[in-house]
Chain A
Amino acid sequence: MGTKGMTAGRGTTEINDRVGTAGWSPKRQEPRPEMSRFQGDRLARRKLIKLAASVAATGPLLLLPRGAPAGTRTLRIAKWTHFVFEFDEWFTNYAADWGLRNATRVVIDSFPVEKIAAVAAAQIRADDGHDIFMFPWPPAQYYQHTIDHTEIYRAVAGKYGSIPQLAYRSTLHPRNGKHFAFADFWLPCPLHFFQDQWLKVGMPFGPLTYDSLRSGGKTLREKHGIPSGLAFTATLEGNVTLHTLLYAFRAWVLGANGSVLFNGNAFAVEALKYIRALYQESGTPAQLGWEPRGNVRAMLARRTSCTANAISLLRVAEKQDTGLAGRIWLQPPLIGTNGMGITALPHITNCSAIWRFARNQDAARQFLADLVDSSRLGYEKSLGCNFPIYPKTVPDLVVRLSNDSHADPPGKYLELKDSLHWTPNLGVPGFATPEYMEIFNTSLVPRMVQSVLKGERSPQDAAAVGAAEMQRIVAKWQQQT
């Protein structure tokens, strides 16, 4: 059974890019995880093998609760492995408790973020799998295979208000008016920078704008040998960073009506030329080879001066080396150009989908609706990474940000207080449509950028090729719906 994803997060001798348990949490919570077993008779052997193979390749399985009475119903949950171990640990226990309260055996399987798409696709092909599948991004591509989640939003509305915009635009399929998933939290993506390094180039509060990132980054590398470290590869970080950058340059991928805007104006080539200049003047060749969370590892090793990421990066630093963490400051995203203002896409939009083939849809709906009640705990256990979709669940969010017990100074995280203002949904200015999410999940943008950075294509050619590929994807989806 492959356990690569989980063990990488639980502490190795290498630089650990996931918040583990050794620091702040004195005790590891029980129960200990076990391997889950799919016991449904309906699961064909061939499908089981296929599914098991996909699961085995990606991570361990958990079975909860132990000793559940025989004959109780089973709720199977697949989720992405959170960057903060404490959250997954809490979630496991929460699910177990929920299962006890609802006479349900809850099975949880965690998969590294980069494996999520493959596992989901395998389950769809098998027409079987988990009941709830928690994605780190809107699973719009799978809308034909999920139930309509509108009912869950309605159920939650009674307590916490109507559906917030970020959830609405991240989970609604605009062409059929149904919600293909349910969103309950998200992770903002601020800029992390080493204040002591940027102080050397006269930017003690960070680069503020993309222009200053370029000029300051250039000086930092030239005079101090420290490259800047935005993620450019086909990873979650690379995707989010580059989609953010394109959006901030007004080089929008799709329009509000779903049509391809990219390369329909001057912004795309301008943005690609900017990225190339940024890389050539202030980057490092290592950037082109970074695997998932490579940007985090580079920052933790102080090999780069800044990056855009969820605050899990800073949380890791706070746990591993308080001195290092003290030097890392946050700032809201860089100010875009062409009138775009301050903006960054969410690092994570946690979207839970209940498959049409789910055997226990009622329990799945209930679980997701109940989970919102625990958003505050989720926020705390994720060490402040998980911002609630429903603000009422953590009404004192700004107070918490202003006085964080692990931060130095305690108000460091206040830079996030307006994050809902500067965070639009994936797919902006439209919705997170199937076509946009296919563009996102196939890493079309990072591949396009890489072709420029490696000198394989000019910005003009890369933009043209990228736009053509986007057009092909859009056309494909429009034929389907």
Chain B
Amino acid sequence: MMENRHTRLWLGVLTLALPLLGFGAPAAGQERPVFDAERNFNPPPCDYSDTFYRDNGVEPTQVTGRFGDARRTGPPASGNQVNWVTDQSCSLNDPQRRNVRILATTGGFSDDGTATPADFISILGFLTSARAFEPNYTRQVGQQTISIKQGTNPRGIATLRVLANFEAYAALKQRLPDGSFAANPCAAHMATPLAPATPCFAVNSVDTVFTPNLRQDWRFDTNHNAIDGSDGNCINTDPALCPGGINNSPFGYFCDDLLGIWLIDYFWFTADPANPGSVCGPIYRSLIRKNGASLDGTPIIKTADELQNLIEANGCGAEGKLSVDGSDGGAVGFICPAIPDPRNGAIAKDAFLDQVRLPDGSPQNRQLTVNFLSLQRFGVFPFEKGERDGDGNQGDDGGQGDDGDK
């Protein structure tokens, strides 16, 4: 309850702050415009239909904690919030969806080097083993046959390979209830030999990746396959044109990963921030100055470069993936489609931001909050607000009521 009050307080403060950021009400004398349907053409996210899951190689009954069937309340929702609602418009807007609209909107960092907190996803459910992937499946659609053979679709793409190409980085809390610092996960095969195996932090259920158990917000790997096309593909064979070599990401997130599947990559620190030692200490301090501290007191990691070249290369951190046989019990991957374009209505008025919060309920990353509120209220990112105001249609959402502190 205390946390909820703090949360509301913080959101209220941010709402008050938005006008200072340029999101003010229409100037005096201007006509307050009505809701602009042309600018709210992006429907908010909904769960996929069972058929669509199967057409894309995933058996929906094997999806753990699937929104629409489970997790209506509880993390990430808090208080009276619900994570999803029934909404008949879902299948009308997109016949591949079922009528379960997602309110819980998880934010995270694009792992493209910019460290921008601008990715918004819907965690529809979790994959705990390779059993979720159909080996064989056929469905006749008119003259067309949709088929999965040996786990591979007609385009020659195995669903598991799709999973392998998109990694989401989970930062589980390492500080245990007794105050000790766990330098490894409780999964022997992925524990790094560079740190003691015990004490360890749990990875044996999907709950462990729920937001209250995270020390920082998610990072989404876009350095192998960008979700926005910014992966720096260079496919010319002429070294003069591609001096760094060919980078031809074979998968496109929005064209190949139609379910929005991500492989979860757990990353953690191997040195207690309370006693980090002479090697990790300076690195921790430097990164904390730059990015801030996580809930464990370890640095917040925003980019691959920080994780790999600073933390892992110096033996101060490690990463690993749960066994795809499901023997670890936790989330190997999840179905969490990124919202292709979070603007123009994709963030619904009743959606809420699922992000890591400080003990006082305030957001750990305020820019993420500002981005979310801006998208929710105005349909644009903050930096775009001026552009939109400048095109003669200012204050487009002003008539929709002040629900920014929802």
Evaluate contact between A265 and B223: CB separation under 8 angstroms: no
| Main SS at interface, chain B | loop
Contact with A along B304-339 (1 / 0, CB 8 A): 100110001111001111111111100000000000
Given the complex, which residues of A lie within 8 Å of B192, measured CB to CB?
270
Contact of B324 among A209, A269, A417 (CB under 8 A): A209
Interface status of A342 (Cβ within 8 A of chain B): yes
For residue A218, give the distance in angstroms from its CB to the closest CB of chain B: 7
B281 within 8 A of A: no
| Nearest-neighbor residue (CB-CB) of B328 within chain A | A215
Number of interface residues of A (CB under 8 A): 57
Tell me whether A202 and B150 are in contact in the complex, defined as CB-CB below 8 angstroms, given that A211-B321, A414-B156 are known contacts. no
| In the complex, chain B residues whose CB is within 8 Å of the CB of A337 | 319-321
Does A168 reach chain B (CB closer than 8 Å)? yes
Interchain nearest-CB distance for A239 vs B (Å): 22
| Chain A 207-227: CB-based contact to B (< 8 A → 1; otherwise 0) | 111011011101100000000
Q: Using A338-B319, A398-B156 as known contacts, say yes or no to A214 and B245 having CB atoms under 8 A apart.
A: no
- Of B38-46, B160-168, B287-295, B375-383, the one contacting chain A is B160-168
Contact residue among B151, B163, B194, B249 (Cβ-Cβ distance under 8 Å from A266): B194
A165 touches B149 (CB 8 A): no
Contact residues, B264-286 vs A (CB, 8 A): none
Report whether B164 and A208 are in contact in the complex, using a CB–CB cutoff of 8 Å: yes
Find out whether the CB atom of A335 lies under 8 angstroms from the CB atom of B321. yes
CB pair A339–B304 under 8 Å, yes or no, is: yes
Which one of B133, B163, B323 has the highest number of Cβ atoms from chain A below 10 Å of its Cβ? B323
Q: Is the CB of B323 within 8 A of A411?
A: no
Q: Which of B165, B194, B224, B237 has the most CB of A within 10 A?
A: B237
Distance, CA A337 to CA B317, complexed state (A): 12
Known: A250-B313, A266-B312, A332-B161. A339 touches B307 (CB 8 A): yes
Cα–Cα, bound, A433→B249 (Å)? 26
User: Is A205 touching B160 in the complex (CB atoms < 8 A)?
Assistant: yes
Which residue of the partner chain A has the closest CB to B188? A215
The verdict on A265 contacting B321 (CB below 8 Å), with A163-B239, A417-B156, A420-B248 known, is: no
Binding site for B on A (CB under 8 A): 161-166, 168-169, 201-209, 211-212, 214-216, 218-219, 250, 265-267, 269-270, 273-274, 277, 329, 331-332, 335, 337-339, 341-342, 391, 398, 401-402, 409, 411-412, 414-415, 417-418, 420-421, 424, 459
Decide: B312 and A267 in contact? CB cutoff 8 A.
yes
Contact A266 B314 (CB under 8 A): yes
Sample of 19 A–B contacts (CB below 8 Å): A161-B237, A164-B246, A166-B246, A203-B324, A204-B135, A209-B321, A212-B321, A215-B189, A215-B325, A219-B325, A270-B318, A331-B158, A332-B161, A335-B263, A411-B149, A411-B156, A414-B156, A415-B158, A420-B248
> Do B321 and A162 touch across chains, with their CB atoms under 8 A apart?
no
New A-B pairs, 16, CB < 8 Å, besides A205-B151, A216-B324: A165-B237, A166-B246, A204-B133, A206-B160, A208-B164, A209-B324, A270-B315, A329-B150, A331-B158, A337-B320, A338-B319, A341-B165, A341-B224, A402-B156, A411-B156, A421-B250
Chain B residues in 8 Å Cβ range of A411 = 149-150, 152, 156
User: A270's contact among B151, B194, B237, by CB below 8 Å, is which?
Assistant: B194
B190 within 8 A of A: yes
Query: How far, in whole Å, are A205 and B327 apart by their CA atoms in the complex?
Result: 16
Partner of A250, one of B248, B308, B315, B327: B308
B31 contacts A by Cβ under 8 Å: no
Please determine whether A208 and B248 come into contact, CB atoms closer than 8 angstroms.
no
CB distance from A413 to the nearest CB of B (A): 10
B249 touches A421 (CB 8 A): yes
B56 at the interface (CB under 8 A from A): no
- Cβ contact within 8 Å between B130 and A211: no
Given A211-B321, A270-B318, A402-B156: A202 and B129 interface contact (C-beta under 8 Å): yes
Given A203-B130, A203-B325, A414-B156, A162-B149 contact (CB < 8 Å)? no
Determine the chain A residues whose CB is within 8 A of the CB of B194 once the complex forms.
266, 269-270
Residues from chain B with a CB closer than 8 A to the CB of A162 are 237-239
A266 and B313 within 8 A (CB): yes
In the assembled complex, the Cα of A423 lies from the Cα of B343 at a distance in Å of 38
**B239:A204 contact, CB within 8 angstroms:** no
Return the chain A residue nearest B251 by Cβ: A418
**What residues make up the interface of B, taking CB atoms closer than 8 Å to A?**
129-131, 133, 135, 149-152, 156, 158, 160-161, 163-165, 189-190, 192-194, 221, 223-224, 237-239, 242, 245-246, 248-250, 263, 304, 307-308, 312-315, 318-328
Chain A neighbourhood of B320, CB < 8 A = 211, 337
Shortest distance between the CB of A133 and any CB in chain B (Å)? 25
**Bound CA–CA A202/B320 (angstroms):** 19
A414 contacts B326, C-beta separation under 8 Å: no
Cα-based distance from A269 to B131 in the complex (angstroms): 34
Chain A residues near B165 (CB, 8 Å)? 341-342
B249 close to A208 (CB less than 8 A): no
When A165-B245, A339-B304, A411-B149 are in contact, do A273 and B312 touch as well, CB less than 8 Å? no
**A207 B152 Cβ-Cβ under 8 A:** no
Q: Which residue from chain A places its CB closest to the CB of B323 in the assembled complex? A: A215
The CA of A143 and the CA of B307, in the complex, are separated in Å by 38
In the bound complex, residues from chain B placing their C-beta under 8 Å from that of A424 are: 245
Shortest beta-carbon distance from A453 to chain B in Å? 15
Cβ distance B127 to chain A, nearest Cβ, rounded Å: 12
Beyond A266-B312, A420-B248, whether A409 also contacts B237 by CB under 8 A is no
**With A and B bound together, what is the CA distance between A277 and B327 in angstroms?**
18
Among the interface residues A163, A219, A270, A329, which one has the most CB atoms of the partner chain B within 10 A? A270
CA distance A338 to B315 in the complex (A): 11
**Bound CA span A85–B201, Å:** 54
Kindly state the separation between the CA atoms of A163 and B240 in the bound complex, as whole angstroms: 10
Q: Which of B161, B193, B308 makes the CB contact (< 8 A) with A274?
A: B193
Chain B residues lying within 8 Å of A202, measured Cβ to Cβ, are 129-131, 324-327
- Contacting residues, chain A, for B163 (C-beta < 8 A): 208
Most buried by B among A163, A205, A206: A205
B164:A335 contact, CB within 8 angstroms: yes
Question: Which of the listed residues A341, A402, A417 has the most CB atoms from chain B within 10 Å of its own CB?
Answer: A341
Supposing A208-B324, A216-B323 touch, asked if A420 and B246 sit within 8 A by C-beta, the answer is: yes
